[in-house]
Structures are given as structure tokens and as C-alpha cells.
Structure 1
Amino acid sequence: MSTRGGEIASAAETLIGTRFRLHGRNPETGLDCIGLVGQALESCGRLVHYPQGYKLRNIDIARWLEFAGANGLRDCAGPAERGHILLTQPGPAQHHLLIALGGGQFVHAHAGLRRVVSQRISLIRPPLAQWRFEPDREQSWPL
């Protein structure tokens, strides 16, 4: 686990209980899973570039991958460690970001429960992508 990974996980834990809101970027008004990851990155001093125009259900994951690359996240593999960010597919055309706390525990913005929660999750399928924060990685964003 990197120190930054621990910081991201700790930042996410402080957001548990925040209400869910699709496209939510502010903890005071609500967060979705991208907003949760973005807020955790901002807590680590990162200027976050958010994707636009996604829906609750999406067939294409390009925006998710662009979001990761634009915000200093680097591909990684293996068991999810504290601070890793996973892109999962919980259902058809549904994609979701989780922040690992370790030991199968994750923080995520749960649309059904309408809150950011911490849950033990057994992933049925491998994640579509898994990243860790690289604080020295140069930020880029397509114009």
C-alpha cells in the first residue's frame, strides 16, 4: 500500500453517510461514485477533471478510463489493496467505482441505498480496471 493509497482510502471513509446524487460532486449536496473518487483525490491535493455526459447505465467505459488517466491513476493488478480504485460492472450496462479499504471492504456511492457506504463486497467477476494513485504522474485531459 502506498501512502497516497492510504490517504485516498481515509478521505473516502470520511465521506461515508454522504447522500447519493447522480453527477454529484459536492459532499454537501451529494456524490456519485465518480464524485466520491474525485473528492478523495481532491483531499490528496489533486486537481480533478470530471467526465461529462454519462448516465446511470452506460455501454461504453471510455469516459471511465479517461477519468482515471486524466487524474493520475495508474493501472495495477492483483488483490485490491487499501486505496486501490476498481471499475466494476455490477449489472448490464452498469459500471461502478469502488475504493478499497482492504480485506474485501470498499467505500462506494450506493445508488440503491442513496448514500456513500462501506461494505464488504465479494466481486463475482474481476474488475474491468484497477488503479492506484501516482501523485507524480502528469495530469492530462482531452480538450
Structure 2
Amino acid sequence: MSAVVAAAVAAVGTRFRLHGRGADGLDCVGLVALALRGGGYLGEVPSGYALRGGDWGLLDRVLVRVADAEAGDVLLMAAGPGQVHLGIRTAVGFVHADAGLRRVVERPGMPPWPLIGVWRMEG
């Protein structure tokens, strides 16, 4: 299991908190930042973003866009009109901060939302 996946799976059960970045709660951006830090990423993490829209070009600046998702990859999904969502691919599914369930969960299979893109850490 990669360090990115291990960090994401370790966060399962953490409560959901918009703009959350730690043990007191995580949102999807916070979860991905935590997972990538587990894999050695030390760069910037967005904050102060709205629930809809936003500039996801940061992913292209810090990660490598790939065609097919593998365990440890960052998934960008279209969760609703103008609303995107992030998750981490695992060997059996994906980990994401589920606002409806109010916690970080791992779901089996691929996400139920359209996949916008997939990014991977270099190295």
C-alpha cells in the first residue's frame, strides 16, 4: 500500500468539516492534502474556496495528470452542477470526505460521479 493510500485510509472515520485540515475534521481538499503529505508532498493547499466553482489548476501545477486511475491517485469528480469533489483512489475503491455522512469514508469501486480528471504524484 502506498504512503498516500495509507494516509487516506487512516483518515477514514474523521468527521467532515468544511475547510477542515486535521484531526478536528476534514473536507475533500483537506483529505487529499493529508494523503499527499503522507506521500511526501509539502506544497501549498488551497483554502477559503467556495462550495461551487474554483480554480483546480493547482492540481496541474503540483501533480502529473494521467489517463487511468491507480491506487494513490487524486480523483477530481463532478459531484453536481458547478460542484467538484476530490478523493483518493485505493486498491478497492476510493476515500473521500462525505458531507452527507459527515465523515471520511472509503467506498468500493469507482465514484458514482463523472470523473473530470486523475492526477498522480511524481516519483
Mark yes or no: TM-score above 0.5. yes
Aligned counterpart for 2:64 among listed residues 74, 79, 82: 74
Per-residue CA deviations over 1:48-94 (Å, capped at 9, x if unaligned) read 31123312222x4x2x221x234x3100002x211111100021111
Larger radius of gyration: 1
Alpha-carbon distance in 2 for matches of 1:125, 1:107 = 14
Contact 1:38 1:48 in 2 (8 A): no
- Length-normalised TM-score, structure 2: 0.88
Task: Look up the match of 1:20.
Answer: 16
**Structure 2 gap segments, 5+ residues each:** none
**Structure 1 gap segments, 5+ residues each:** 136-143
1:101 equivalent to 2:90? Answer yes
Instruction: State the shift of 1:39 in Å.
Output: 0.7
Deviating above 3 A after TM superposition, structure 1's stretches of 4 or more consecutive aligned residues are 121-126
Alpha-carbon distance in 2 for matches of 1:107, 1:123 = 10
- Length-normalised TM-score, structure 1: 0.77
Identity, % of aligned positions:
46
1:86 equivalent to 2:92? Answer no
**How many residues are treated as equivalent by the alignment?**
123
Aligned to 1:48, what secondary structure does the other structure show?
A: coil
Task: Look up the match of 1:133.
Answer: 121
Alpha-carbon distance in 2 for matches of 1:42, 1:123 = 23
